[in-house]
Every structure is written in structure tokens, then in C-alpha cells.
A and B are shown apart, each in its own frame.
Chain A
Amino acid sequence: MKLKEGFCTQKIAKGQVMVPLGNADTDFRGIVRSNSTAAFVVNCLKEETTRDEILEKLKNTYDAPEDVMAKDLDEVLEKLKSINAISG
């Protein structure tokens, strides 16, 4: 899976915002605001990757129980899918 073309991110304070530009293949026209962990996931999706690869990177970066991280990751991915931001 990968973040679709046309979704643009900008770091802000300790988080990140993401908006679909005009060429993005989505009906969503709003702002996705992410905390630092969600931003980490979004940034992983800028290259072709898998859920398990992202989880592995999360484990290598953050100090939290794996099941908590997996749950958070799935929630973020679900939200990104709901606005048609991920391909594959």
C-alpha cells in the first residue's frame, strides 16, 4: 500500500497536516491533522509498504506495547482508507 499521488503533507508543531491537492483521486476535501505517531505512519506510506513493515518501524522507533501500537496503526490506516488516501 501507498499514499496516493496528490496528498501533500506539512509538519506543524509536533504533528502534521495533510491535504489532497487538486489532482488527488479522492472526494475528500479537508484537512487530515495527525499527531506525531500518526504522522510517522503517513510518512511511512509515502513509499510502497505493508502494514507489518510499518508496525516493525513503529516498534523500532517508539517504546510502547506492540498490541497498542498495532491497534493505533490499524485505526490510522482505516481512517486513511475511509478518505481514499491509500492505494493498494
Chain B
Amino acid sequence: MKTLIETDSMIGKILGKQGYEEDTSYRLLSWCGYIDVGEERLLHNYMTGKTLVMEPGEDHDTKDLKPELIADWFLVPEDSNDVQLLEELRSAMKLFDYKKGINSFKILTTTDCNARCFYCYEAGIKKENMSRENAEKTVGFIEKVRGEGEVTLAWFGGEPMMNTEVMDIICRGLKDRGIGYASVMTSNGYLFDEEQIEKSVIDWNLKNIQITLDGTKKIYNKVKAYTDAEDDPYERVLKNIRNLADAGVRVNIRLNMGAGNFDDTLKLIDELSAGFSENENVSAYVSGLFQELEKDDVTLKKDLSEKLIIAAKKIADSGLDRPKIKNIHTRTGGCMADNDNHIGISPSGKLMKCEHFIFDRLVGDIDSGKDDELSKGWKERMPDGDLCGKCTVRPVCYRLEGCPVSHPCDEFEQREFTLRKESQILKNWELINRKGAKNVELTAVSDNEIC
């Protein structure tokens, strides 16, 4: 047995090594799972993030391995309450959240959009653009509430590129105040040209952009139904993806897939692979249309879950997933909604915790600031579903009660979610073997400790 990835540093400091108790019967922690890799097997602890490589003939019952497996929380006493242990760990990890302040700002420059995607959750909402005045106020708000260090600006919409003026004002304002920033953006990618790409790199310090593709040319152009299309939108967006990547911006292509465009998604992956597999700045991932995943149609969800697994594997095989070593361990939050480090700003200057709630369930505004009491409502967790109690990947799953695009898994979704996590662990194994790296430790907290 050898260690592939060490326990997450913070979790290791909180848990310490588990003491061995004589006359106690031990069993595998509920949050551990095996993954076969040829003759060897990986044993991953989803609570701590530690991955072990078991040699042929070894498993958690191998006598010689027990002391180390107990010390590292792979084995726990037979009567251990694993759910309670996990929740206590989460509570302890959350004690460290207080330090951060707000350093991440999702800014909606507009709710307007030049595309008319049939699945858009913003379809039919009131169209409003952020004014120059609100852009200036946003700078003041960021200066007031930010934590230490650089801030991240996440440009969002509607289509954020329909109101670039406020991006200019906010970035210039932050620069004038000596506040460091980097940008990320969610865009359809259509409105970029060479001048805008240069500006995005120099003025907005754009590091990463997510661009959605819904299919190959014919399907893409039909789904997007741009209101201002002057040329072939598909070809134009592909050109912009290439130009953005060549300018140093990492482009993450999201492939929206429903049960109806599976075959075309596979074709699209082939096209993207041919065009971008050599470009390290371009990556892709597949995502199920949440409208279909939220339906109570078990057959549909099973079908879509299986298709998502196939499409994700095809992306991985093409290399477009750009795998990185990532520690898979206990999560303490769901998304930006329950993250005190993050706030969203609507075009009218309202503070929001979720881009699905631009006009209601708001938590303040840029004039009066954030209302912490209102923010608390976003932190309520979703009650366990039928499968949660013994779900091996429970530590890495954290769902919020108020989330409009989430629900407890059925068995098919649980399988897909688990496979995604196992896939990342396998990638870790491949990357570490390829690079010859050992005992990768990916996070760190203060070394001060009294035990």
C-alpha cells in the first residue's frame, strides 16, 4: 500500500490521527470507496481526501495495514456514527470561513441577451442594463466590503458583452483605487471581435471565460436564434474561442445536453477535438439541461444520466477535459449562494446570492450593503434524500434547500455523480503516475497547532 494523495491539510489538522483502541472492532468508513486500476486498486477517503494505492491482494481487512488505515480514518469503530462525524468535521471546517471577507463579485452588466435559447431560465424576465452611476457605485461597494488581496469579477448577464461600458468603468475605478482584480465571464461568445478581445485581456484582466455550445452548426444556430446575427454565429463563436485562447484566456466550453441532442453532442465533441485538442487554453465539459433533470420522469432522467456519462467519457478521451490533480474531500458549501466570500450585483445594484433570483430573495443593495440576516436564509441545507445516508460520496455533496436546480439524487443521478468523482480520482492517479509526482498535498492552513 502506498499513498497517492495525502489527506487535505486542513482536514488533517482538524481530525488529527485517529487513536487505536484495543478490543474494538473496526470497519471501513462509509465514505470510502474502491476504484479498480488494472491490477491495483485505489482506496479513496471522500471525507479526508486521502487516496491509497492498494497492491494486489491488499484491502482494508489486511492485518498489517490496519494501524495506518485506522490512523488515517479509513477504518472506524464498528459503532461509529459516520454521518455525525462528517457533520462535526464540516462544522469545524466552517470555523475558518470568517477570515475571508468578500473577494468574489458576480456582476450582471445586463439582463438583456442577443440569444433566444429555448431552455434559458431568464426567458421573459425584465430587461435592464446597469447604468454608469451604478457601475461607479459598484466600485465603491467593492472597495468597502472586500477582503484582503485581489478581487475576482465574474461578468454575467443576460449577455454581459451587451454592456461592456460598465465593465470598463468598474475596472478603471478599481485600478484608480489600487485594487487588484482578475475577471472571469459567462458569455455566448458571439459579440467579441479582435478589439474586444484585446480589451478583455488588457483592461478587464480576463482570465477565464465559459462559452456554451448547444450542438454543431445547424443545431447551434437554431437553438441560439441570435437576434442580431449578421453572419454564421457558429463559425463566428468558434473563431472567437480560438482568438480568446490564443490571447491567453482560458476558454471552458460548456456543452448543454438534453435527451434530444445526444448524438449531435458527440459530433460536436469530435469537431472540438479536431479544432482545439492541441490548444491547452480550451477545455470542455458536458452539462445536462436542468429543466430535464428536474422533471419527475425517472425514465428520462435515467436516459439522460447515462448519456451524460458517455459524453463526459468522450470528452475525457479527447483530452478536452484538461485534467488537473484535484483533491476530492469534504465540502463545506454548495455554491456562491451560501458562500460569505461571494456576492452578486444586479444591474439595478441589488445584492443577490443566486443568479436565478435577480429580482427577489435579494440580500441588500450597493448603497446600504449586505443584510447578513437575509443571507442566512440561503445557507439552509437540503434535507437528506433516500440515498444520502449511505452514499459513499456524501462528503463531496452539499445541496442547498433554496436551490432551484437541485434535488436529492435518484439512483441514476447518484451513479453519474459518483462516476464523475471516481473519474477525477482516476485522473489524479494517471497524472501523478505520468509526472512521477508523489504525495501531493493541495491545500494548506497555518502550521500552528497544539494537540
Interface of A with B (CB < 8 Å)? 8, 10-13, 15, 17, 19, 21-22, 28-34, 79, 82-83
Contacts and interface: CB of A to CB of B under 8 A. Distances in A.
Contact of B16 (A8, A33, A79): A33
Given A12-B15, A21-B95, 11 more contacts: A8-B95, A12-B14, A13-B15, A19-B92, A19-B96, A31-B13, A31-B449, A33-B13, A34-B451, A79-B450, A83-B448
Contact of B450 (A11, A21, A29, A30): A30
A49 B274 CA distance: 72
B217 to A, nearest CB: 54
Contacts of B449: 30-33
A10 B450 contact: no
Which 6 A-B pairs give the minimum distances between C-beta atoms?
A30-B448, A10-B92, A12-B88, A30-B446, A19-B95, A33-B451
Contacts of B15: 12-13
Contacts of A34: 451
B418 interface: no
Interface string B64-93: 000000000000000000000100110110
Contacts of B18: 13
B317 interface: no
B39 interface: no
B98 interface: yes
A51 to B, nearest CB: 19
A29 B446 contact: yes
B14, B448, B450, most chain A CB atoms within 10 A: B450
Interface of B: 13-16, 18, 85, 88-89, 91-92, 95-96, 98-99, 445-451
A14 to B, nearest CB: 8
B99 A22 contact: yes
Given A31-B449, A33-B451, A12 B92 contact: yes
A15 to B, nearest CB: 8
A8, A13, A22, most chain B CB atoms within 10 A: A13
A13 B85 contact: yes
A82 B447 CA distance: 16
A12 B18 CA distance: 11
A18 B447 CA distance: 14
A15 B85 CA distance: 11
A40 to B, nearest CB: 16
A21 B13 CA distance: 17
B98 A11 contact: no
Nearest to B448: A30
Contacts of A17: 14, 92, 95
A83 B13 CA distance: 17
Nearest to A76: B450
B34 to A, nearest CB: 24
A22 B95 CA distance: 10
Contact of A21 (B88, B91, B98, B451): B98
Contacts of A29: 446, 448
A31 B96 CA distance: 10
Contacts of A21: 95, 98
A19 B450 CA distance: 11
25 contacts: A8-B95, A10-B95, A12-B15, A12-B88, A12-B89, A13-B15, A13-B88, A15-B16, A17-B14, A19-B96, A21-B98, A22-B98, A29-B446, A29-B448, A30-B448, A30-B449, A31-B13, A31-B14, A31-B445, A31-B448, A32-B449, A32-B450, A33-B14, A33-B16, A34-B451
A50 B105 CA distance: 48
Contact of B447 (A12, A13, A30): A30
A22 B99 CA distance: 7
Contacts of A33: 13-14, 16, 449-451
Contacts of B14: 12, 17, 31, 33
B400 to A, nearest CB: 21
Contacts of A82: 450
A8 B97 CA distance: 13
Contacts of B92: 10, 12, 17, 19
A21 B98 CA distance: 7
Contacts of B95: 8, 10, 17, 19, 21
B447 A10 contact: no
A31 B11 CA distance: 11
Nearest to A34: B451
B47 to A, nearest CB: 11
A19 B446 CA distance: 11
A10, A11, A21, A34, most chain B CB atoms within 10 A: A10
A34 B338 CA distance: 29
B14, B85, B449, most chain A CB atoms within 10 A: B14
A33 B89 CA distance: 12
A79 to B, nearest CB: 5
B43 to A, nearest CB: 20
